[in-house]
Chain A
């Protein structure tokens, strides 16, 4: 807002905003700090703020004793795989709804939205049984497909709202010049759609990476991603705060950084375009 504000008021607002922001982010900052503590100092009461013996041992231990990288790799495969597969299916669908809308397009969009609202537990038993029957339990391909399906409505919706903003006149002009359907998609539409597609990819990787319901229920070890790995710390033995912190820091760091770049897309994607 372009209103004149006194420096004093601005200083006060700044202090208040920073205090609130640091308070909200505090659990994350504390976790990162704890990941560098030796285990005994991580559980010290009263807590040690900065005067502890800084160490990287926890990161080393998490990798060597618990094979962190295997879980990390599964997370990457599930997040990237489900997003790629989702795009492959969603781009044509969103394209056709945005540029060749029919009478049913609106209903179709709303119906896709409604599939997103189905509670996981409602289909828990059948999905679990189908997974056992098809031998998909604890397999990466099974998870890629399930996570893709869960996020497919969001991908379609997000792409649809982006494609909608591309002016149809440009396509008509291309058609006048004799461009065929595939040329039209490849040379006219794609370059204009890339920012929207990139945003969609970003949001979906975040959602897939953090999906914890199906990844925890449908995996044991082979296909288990970081969500499963971290939940293993719920029944701990011995001192584990520093190791939990190190594992958590590594599990959230990549997504946290991606998340910072996707604030706007987040709003659009998660509200299905209702708030832009």
Chain B
């Protein structure tokens, strides 16, 4: 259907988006790669020079590095388990015939629209604070000593905050997938006397598999980049207890002004994100052909 003229017009219309994204992606990445092999501190720009892989060496041997990798892993896996597990349960619950489905849906997805600093600070102050927070009050009401969530269990506290933010996303996507399941199939299984657990396991779960994959991969990409929630609650502490890879790079760059080492850390983050990204693009790419 396309003529030569419309083809060249199409290319012309496509070019601004492509050029901009290319510049946005390639230029900073090349700069990061370049800085990562340079001696480069933002405060001492004159002390420069090519130092090969010393930045990588000092980033990877940083006493906080392996802890940060482990914390990132715990954060991502913890949030995924809560959001996917909880999301399936809640989706199953609100997919049933209930009164007030509209308002229930609105309430359930609301946390997703809360900007990260608001979510983090509400939880930090009004829930986790041992003396004035609601959890503190609840502990006191049942006769337990106050528990300093962010001081004693910083990573778990951050997992709670982030899981709360992402639970609606998982729920909404799983609900959408659930609603596309044909009810005939379920009814047939029910008539044949398949119990609810079997119906879930053999019919619903396989149907949800694709949506679950998408949720896991998309969330993983976003969760690896979590920074603000840590920044306004624990600042990576106490000690390094809630320092993730992302926070470690941020700390090197902004607080320690060590651009070279931060760039090396950034490259490490890119490599890790790419591993996930490859799987995600494959999962989404399948849909393009369909």
User: Interface of A with B (CB < 8 Å)?
Assistant: 1-3, 5, 10, 13-14, 16-18, 20-22, 24-25, 27-28, 30-31, 34, 43, 45-47, 89-90, 92-93, 95-97, 99-100, 102, 106, 108-110, 112-115, 117-130, 149, 152-153, 156, 168, 171-172, 181, 206, 209-210, 212-213, 216-217, 226-227, 230-231, 233-234, 240-241, 244-245, 248, 251-252, 255-256, 258-260, 263-264, 266-267, 270-276
Contacts and interface: CB of A to CB of B under 8 A. Distances in A.
B76 to A, nearest CB: 13
Contacts of B288: 106, 109-110
B176 interface: yes
Residue with the greatest number of chain A CB neighbours at <10 A, chosen from B1, B164, B221: B1
B228 A212 contact: yes
B173 A18 contact: no
A27 B246 CA distance: 27
A10 B98 contact: yes
B136 interface: yes
A112 B2 contact: no
Contacts of A46: 137, 140-141
A167 B177 CA distance: 25
B97 A24 contact: no
Interface of B: 1-2, 5-7, 9-11, 13-14, 16-18, 20-21, 24-25, 27-29, 31-32, 35, 90, 93-101, 103-119, 121-127, 131-132, 134, 136-137, 140-141, 164, 167-169, 172-173, 176-177, 183, 186-187, 210-211, 214, 218, 221, 224-225, 227-228, 231-233, 245-246, 249-250, 253-254, 259, 262-263, 265-267, 269-270, 273-274, 276-277, 280-281, 283-285, 287-288
10 contacts: A14-B99, A47-B137, A102-B7, A117-B280, A126-B28, A233-B117, A245-B122, A260-B106, A274-B283, A275-B211
A27 B99 contact: no
Contacts, number: 321
Contact of A118 (B7, B105, B246, B270): B270
Contact of A93 (B9, B14, B164, B169): B14
Given A24-B107, A123-B32, A110 B168 contact: no
Nearest to B26: A115
A5 B97 contact: yes
Given A47-B134, A125-B262, A168 B1 contact: yes
A47 to B, nearest CB: 5
Nearest to A233: B121
A125 B259 contact: yes
A13 B97 contact: yes
A119 B266 contact: yes
B108 A129 contact: no
A234 B118 CA distance: 10
Nearest to A230: B117
Contact of A121 (B90, B107, B134, B225): B225
Counting from the closest, the 6 A-B pairs by CB-CB distance are A92-B13, A96-B10, A126-B31, A123-B28, A100-B10, A93-B17
B283 to A, nearest CB: 7
B233 to A, nearest CB: 7
A100 B2 contact: yes
B122 A118 contact: no
B115 A226 contact: yes
A252 B115 contact: yes
A25 B123 CA distance: 13
Contact of A21 (B25, B108, B124, B214): B108
A127 B28 CA distance: 7
Contact of B108 (A24, A102, A267): A24
A119 B259 contact: no
B108 A25 contact: yes
B228 A231 contact: yes
Contact of A16 (B93, B140, B169): B93
Given A108-B18, A233-B121, A271-B173, A251 B115 contact: yes
